[in-house]
């Protein structure tokens, strides 16, 4: 992490910020960061997606979420699930990971538990390439909000 960015914008993926910092700036930090993401190899994009925690998953229970992810999941009420909701998240997370081999990603600050569950169910039907694009778009939304938090 650079001194300019005290909290990582991307989950466990400092290479995105490092590459953006090494390239000429367009004056739009978010656009510069997302240009790095979209210019990355497919393997790098998948690694970035896989660096994200499952929603209401093991990391939320064992306390290993990043500070930003914990706060974001809490904002959507994912730290206060009923047993039935937790079981539904667990089932959908498992089905999603089985289908795509990466965690479901959504900008939880822009929705709620019901919206997240509905999106998980709907996006399970996506072809893999569409879901990779959707995950990267959601990461873009997450990063935009994190940048706004730093401003």
- Active-site position among 5, 12, 38, 52: 52
Residue 59 confidence (pLDDT): 54
Please state which CATH class domain 14-150 belongs to: mainly alpha
Instruction: Check if 90 is active-site.
Output: no
pLDDT, one tens digit per residue, over 6-19 is 468 998 899 999 99
Neighbours of 73 (CB within 10 A): 22
* 47 has pLDDT over 80: yes
As a whole number of Å, the end-to-end CA separation of the chain is 16
Whether 3 shows a pLDDT value over 50: the answer reads no
Which residues neighbour 121 within 8 Å (Cβ) at sequence distance 6 or greater?
A: 92
Q: What is the pTM of this model?
A: 0.88
Per-residue confidence band for 5, with pLDDT thresholds at 50, 70 and 90:
very low
- 121 pLDDT above the threshold of 70: yes
Query: Which residue in 90, 5, 30 sits closest to 55, CA to CA?
Result: 90
Per DSSP, the residues of 80-145 read: S--HHHHHHHHHHHHHHHHHHSS-----GGGS-HHHHHHHHHHHTTS-HHHHHHHHHHHHHHHHHH
142 vs 66: which has the higher pLDDT: 142
């Amino acid at each position: 992490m650079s001194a300019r960015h005290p909290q990582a914008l991307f989950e466990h993926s400092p290479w995105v910020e490092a590459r953006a910092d090494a390239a000429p700036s367009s004056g739009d930090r978010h656009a510069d960061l997302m240009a790095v993401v979209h210019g990355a190899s497919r393997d790098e994009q998948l690694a970035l997606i896989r660096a994200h925690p499952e929603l209401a998953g093991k990391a939320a229970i064992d306390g290993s979420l990043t500070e930003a992810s914990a706060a974001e999941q809490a904002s959507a009420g994912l730290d206060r699930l009923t047993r039935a909701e937790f079981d539904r998240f667990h089932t959908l997370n498992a089905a999603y990971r089985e289908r795509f081999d990466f965690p479901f990603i959504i900008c939880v600050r822009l929705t709620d538990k019901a919206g997240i569950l509905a999106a998980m169910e709907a996006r399970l039907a996506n072809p893999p390439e569409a879901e990779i694009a959707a995950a990267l778009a959601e990461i873009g939304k997450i990063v935009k909000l994190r940048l706004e938090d730093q401003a």
